[in-house]
């Protein structure tokens, strides 16, 4: 089975559509969303509807938790706070209730899925490098762990407790017997690893491969929507350079 794993859409409809189209072309059979469907961007409702329709696993991210009233906005920067307040006004009561009902983690026999750091997912800790990944893998026995939240895409292998970088930003990794893996799937709608293109991961469970995929999309259209909505210009401008 080919599983597409995405995270941090942040209400960027153009990026989400590009990801879903690319996944279809590459044979993705089902999707998992690791959270932060909303926040920052100008299409929260439409993105949420598409996630509900396409994904068999949907998790709670910190922006989802904020706009649905599960956490406060004190630790958000001014741009994120303004976007969260605006987003909460755009969503219906039913949509906010749906977000509030989402789980923090999903674990099955094959993998561990979580938005942030797996040992304390409610603390929203970041996994930004292989050392963070190595510590995170100590919190799960899964062969594969999938995370988001940091908006930086990479795949880390863990063998005998030692982490190593297998891929960054883009690339395919052949899984090895006896080795465990953490895949940070990056961000669909707000990449911050220096590559502006939307990112997602494909886990091919038949071929035992993990892959980071990047997709171009209509950034200018997304930027215009953000500005037209009256959201902070910074949220639009940063989309052009992936920072």
Q: What is the pLDDT of residues 43-84, one digit of tens each?
A: 999 999 999 999 999 999 999 999 999 999 998 999 999 999
Helix (H) or strand (E) holding 100: helix 93-100
Catalogue all structural domains in the chain, each as residue range(s) with its CATH number.
2-240 (3.60.21.10)
- The answer to whether 192 touches 242, Cβ cutoff 8 Å, is yes
pTM of the full structure: 0.96
Q: What is the pLDDT of residues 151-188, one digit of tens each?
A: 999 999 988 778 999 999 999 999 998 899 999 999 99
Classify the C-alpha dihedral 74-79-82-87 as positive or negative: negative
């Amino acid at each position: 089975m080919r599983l597409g794993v995405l995270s941090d859409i942040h209400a960027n409809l153009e990026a989400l559509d590009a990801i879903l189209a690319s996944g279809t072309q590459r044979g993705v059979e089902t999707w998992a969303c690791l959270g932060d469907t909303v926040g920052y961007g100008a299409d929260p409702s439409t993105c949420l509807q598409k996630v509900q329709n396409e994904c068999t696993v949907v998790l709670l991210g910190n922006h989802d938790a904020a706009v649905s009233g599960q956490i406060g906005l004190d630790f958000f920067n001014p741009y994120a706070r303004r976007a969260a307040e605006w987003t909460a006004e755009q969503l219906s009561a039913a949509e906010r209730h749906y977000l509030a009902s989402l789980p923090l983690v999903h674990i099955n026999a094959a993998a561990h899925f979580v938005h942030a750091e797996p040992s304390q997912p409610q603390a929203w800790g970041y996994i930004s490098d292989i050392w963070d990944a190595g510590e995170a893998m100590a919190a799960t026995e899964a062969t594969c762990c999938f995370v988001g939240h940091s908006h930086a895409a990479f795949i880390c292998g863990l063998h005998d407790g030692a982490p190593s970088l297998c891929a960054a930003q883009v690339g395919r990794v052949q899984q090895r017997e006896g080795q465990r893996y953490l895949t940070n799937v990056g961000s669909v709608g707000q990449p911050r690893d220096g590559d502006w293109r939307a990112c997602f991961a494909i886990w091919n469970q038949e071929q035992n491969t993990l892959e980071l995929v990047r997709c171009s999309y209509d950034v200018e259209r997304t930027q215009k929507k953000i500005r037209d909505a009256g959201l902070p210009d910074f949220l639009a401008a940063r989309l052009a350079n992936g920072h």
